Amino acid sequence: MALEELVSDVPLSLWIVLALVVYAIVRSFSHATKLRNIPGPLLYSQTRFRLAWDAWQARSVHAVNTLHKEYGPVVRIGPNEVSFNSLSALRTIYGAGNGFERTSFYRMFDAYGRPNLFTFASGVLHRERKKLVSHIYANQTVLSVHFSSLVKRKVAGFLDLLEREPKLGSEIFTSLHYFSFDAISEFVYGPTYGGTAALTGSQQSRALIQDILNPARRRLAWFAVHFPAYTKWITTRTGFLEHLLTSMGLMPMRKPFTYSGIRQHALGAFHSFKAAQDDYKAKSVETTVIGRLFKVQKEAKLSDMDIASECADHLLAGIDTTSDSLMFIIWALSLPQHRKYQDKLRMEVSQISVNNSDGFPEPKELTQLPYLNAVVRESLRLYSPLPAFEPRSSPVNTVIDGYEIPAGTIVGMSPFCLHRDESVFPSPMTFRPDRWLTESGNLIPESDVRNRCFWAFSSGARMCIGMHLANAEMLTLLAALYRKYKTSAKHPDTSPGITSRFEVFFDETMPKMVEHECYIDFIKLDKVVEA
């Protein structure tokens, strides 16, 4: 058969497929060629499963930090993935006006099948959605009378819990989850439709936290990132097939899956609010996230599920982050070697004025206390609640730190690595709040390189929208707590560990670690005899 006849017998569709395959191979080769000059271990550059193996062991960010120490601020960590660890890269990738977008990685955080502020890849879509809710998260709004009152009520609830249920309260990983859950649920939905009461003893509210507390969620997150199609299929099986897969150990996590209970609660809150009277909705416009979104629903062309997804995301984002941060702050201050820091903090907060009606300091005034803010900042540096790699990609070729980065390359940084740069933070594994203060005791200026390298809340347009609310919660609870109590760690040789995506983070200078558990002794000051 002549070659012409053989070629003519091949269907056009097959030629198209072959052409696409050849194009993909050539493009991949060209891509790899442009990245080959970037330093890093050979095995990491050849297969994405080398880093995936680190992630399976809950150590991928730790592994990347080790690579940065060996290879410098630019490291190739996958065939199509590069990690950076410099201020110049931070500005290029995450700074205002950058052309980088979020990758498909974030779609695992969609709720009810709809993207939200956190998961939008497009900067344009993110900006349009953010404009709808940015006012309620503004510092001026959060520190207003209404929201300050909300925060103080939840702080009072936590202190009451310590008195009423001391055994439960002393395990602060759980009890601080109750605090943050009650605070963010009321902020998003209001007290009537969706507000929770975990602090005051509601078993229904407390049960919702259980799927967050399960460490097995790391395995589910790992599968969702590395095998998304398989994970979507296997986790949607029901009946006999679900039972069979579970019994064979093939299900990444037993039901209820991570956040499933809370997402169900959030969906119920949405429907309840939607059915509420119009006058209630009108009153909620300036006091809840959901009220604001319902007001602009038509003009912003939001579907019901857009609103439900957005609110569920805000609810989930405000639980672990605040509670984990507070846990590490209290734990660090409770270690015997850090007693001097706790004493300095107590001296500062004991001298501030309090509201005569409730006996609590005002969140607005607490933002001006240098030592309190230094303690919070140092803990967020060393124990960031979201320390993992933040992937981005650019639709066009770009240059970062002198390296040509082809379009579509996954690039990123992590607070974990940036906050451990010894050239910026000497003895980076040491908890030392004074590093954030000048010799005169004031906070260092914003222009200081330490502040420019502080990245606990991200930066640029994608900076954490709930930053001011989280600060108000942390500052108020810490000030109120240390005006009333001294704290000491029940197990001073053991670090608490937190789950973040598929990683475990803890204080690696400690000889022991227990995940999702932290016991603290709370000693009332009027019962303490000063040494």
Total residue length of the chain: 531
Residue 419 in tokens: 């906050």
Strands 390-393 and 101-102: antiparallel
* Residue owning tokens 């330093």: 39
DSSP code, position 530? P
Q: In terms of C-beta density within 10 A (0-12 exposed, 13-18 middle, 19 or more buried), how is residue 356 classed?
A: exposed
For 336-461, strand residue ranges (E) read 390-393, 398-400, 403-405, 410-413
* Residue owning tokens 């109120």: 480
**Rounded-to-integer distance, Cα 218 and Cα 215, Å:** 6
Alpha carbon distance, N-terminus to C-terminus of the chain: 101
Please tell me whether 464 is known to bind a ligand: yes
For 437-510, strand residue ranges (E) read 485-489, 494-500, 503-505
Please, which residues bridge with residue 393 across strands? 101, 410
Phi, psi angle pair for 393, to nearest 5°:
-150, 155
Q: Is the dihedral of CA 341, 343, 349, 352 positive or negative?
A: negative
Q: Which of 36, 113, 112 has its CA nearest to residue 80?
A: 36
**Rounded-to-integer distance, Cα 68 and Cα 88, Å:** 15
**Rounded-to-integer distance, Cα 63 and Cα 54, Å:** 7
Q: Which residues are annotated as a binding site?
A: 464
Q: Which residues are annotated as a binding site for heme?
A: 464
